[in-house]
Amino acid sequence: MELSYLIYQLIIGLSYSMLLFLISSGLTIIFGLLNIPNFAHGTLYMLGAYFTYFFLHSLPGASFVVAIILAVIAVGVIGAFLEYVPLRKIYERSHALQLLMTFSFILMLDDATKYFAGTDFLSIATPKLMAGSFTLPGDREMPVYSLFIILCGLVVAYLLWLGLYKTRLGKLVQAGTANKEMLSALGINVPRLFTLVFVLGAVLAGLAGGLAGPLKAVSVGMGETIIITIFAIVIVGGVGSLKGAFIASILVGELNTFGVVFFPSFAMAFTYILVILVLLTKPEGLFRIK
């Protein structure tokens, strides 16, 4: 197999990786600081897609970008509600109970979506500017939108890195992820910080949902089809580690791409094999937050 084809696949895989990173970054931050394994994270991603569709079609003249921004806000509001009302009650409980709680969110949000939007598939058009592709040597096409997703992933990664490492708030989140007691010792309003971080995570999921719109059938249940992959990424990367989520997203995305090229019949098992291999060698993920 020629080198240019491999590089081509590498870039194709990267666009999937970056989409995965957009979703998993939010989950890993929430899981790291709040210590809540939010099973409904995929559902927030779904809501991002639905809201984008809704704003795109209900506001006359709304552009894709405007629709996504509005959708992200809407998902953020829902995230704030989920954190503020039910989740706050169970911070001290076991992971199992927290999982069950967030599972109940999935049930409710899925059915509410079904009630308002129906069960038919919806489809978000690729914005005209990005609908085309570049033709590469060898008569290969590189879709503009795939490159756009890569760009979005890198920009979000950079902004999160800035936010987490260069601002006071980010440093608090870092400190809190490593050591919960430290936050209250520093006199921080912990509940407010938690709400803020949960909303940030929800916003990232919503953004990913909106950006995934042009690549996917928007449908109820699209969150459940991706959530295990996202959890796998967070765990492989190390809970709470942004760098870990970034690297693990690339691993999963590229593994999926090259796996399909070289070992297509194992496609269903790729992610799980990766999880097993990583956890057996690094029981706390690639990048452990101390």
Partner 1 sequence: MAKKKITRRAFVKVVGSGALVAGAATFGVPTLLRASSKPIKFGQLNTTSGIMASQGVPGMRGAQIAQEIINQAGGIMGRKLELVQEDDQVKPSVGVRKFRKLVLEDKVDFVFGTNSSGVGLACVPLANEFKKIFISTSMSDKYTGSNCSPYVFRIGESTSMASKASAYCMVANEPGIKKWAGINPDYVFGHESWDFFKKGMKEKKHPVEIVKESYSPFGSQDYKPYITALLESKAEGVFTSLWTGDLINFIKQAKPFGFFDKVKAFVNNTTSFATAIGLGDQMVPFWGEARYYPFYRDTEINRKYISMYRKKFDGYPGADVGAECFATVMALKLAIEKAGTTDTPKVIAALEGLEFEVPEGKKWIRPEDHSGIDEVVLLGKFHRDSKYPFWVYDPKTYFTVPGKEIAMPLDQTGCKMAKP
Partner 2 sequence: MPSKPQTLQNPIIWFLVSLVILWAAPLFLPTFYVYLITEILIVSLFAVSTNVLLGFTGLLSFGQVAFFGSSAYAVSLLIKGTSLPFAASFFISVGLSALAALIIGLFCMRLRAFYFAILTLAFSQIFFVVAYKWTSLTGGDDGIVGIPKKPFFLFDINGPDAYYHFVLLVVMVSLALLYLIIRSPLGEVLQAIRDNSERTEFLGLQVRNYRLASFVIAGTFGGVAGALFAPFQGIVTPELLHWSHSAEPLMISLLGGMYFFFGPIAGAVIFVFIKEWITGFTEYWMFWYGLLLMLLIMYLPGGIMGFISEHIRRGKDGPK
In the complex, which residues of this chain contact partner 2 (CB under 8 A)? 31, 37, 86, 89-90, 93-97, 99-101, 103-108, 110-112, 114-115, 228, 231-232, 235, 239, 265, 268-269, 271-273, 275-276, 279-280, 283-285
CA distances from 91 to 33, 190, 240 (A): 11, 12, 16
- Contact stretch for partner 1 (CB under 8 A) within 31-39, 48-56, 143-151, 164-172: 143-151
**Nearer CB in complex with partner 2: 44/124:** 44
Kindly tell me which of 181 and 262 has the beta carbon lying closer to partner 1. Answer: 262
- Residue of the chain from 38, 43, 229, 241 that contacts partner 1 (CB under 8 A): 229
Size of the site for partner 1 (CB under 8 A): 51
List CB contacts of 120: < 8 A, sequence separation 6 or more. Answer: none
Are 23 and 184 within 8 A, CB to CB?
no
Q: Residue type for 5, please? A: Y
Structure tokens that stand for 94 in this block: 């076991």
Nearer to partner 1, 8 or 84 (CB): 8
Backbone φ, ψ for residue 217 (5° rounding)? -80, 125
The answer to whether residues 41 and 258 touch, using CB atoms and an 8 Å cutoff, is: no
DSSP 3-state of 40: coil
The answer to whether 131 contacts partner 1 (rule: CB under 8 A) is: yes
Q: How far apart are CA 284 and CA 269, in angstroms?
A: 21
List of residues contacting partner 1 (CB under 8 A): 5, 8-9, 12-13, 15-16, 110-111, 114, 118-123, 125-126, 131-133, 139-141, 143-146, 214-217, 219-222, 224-226, 229, 253, 256-261, 264-265, 267-268
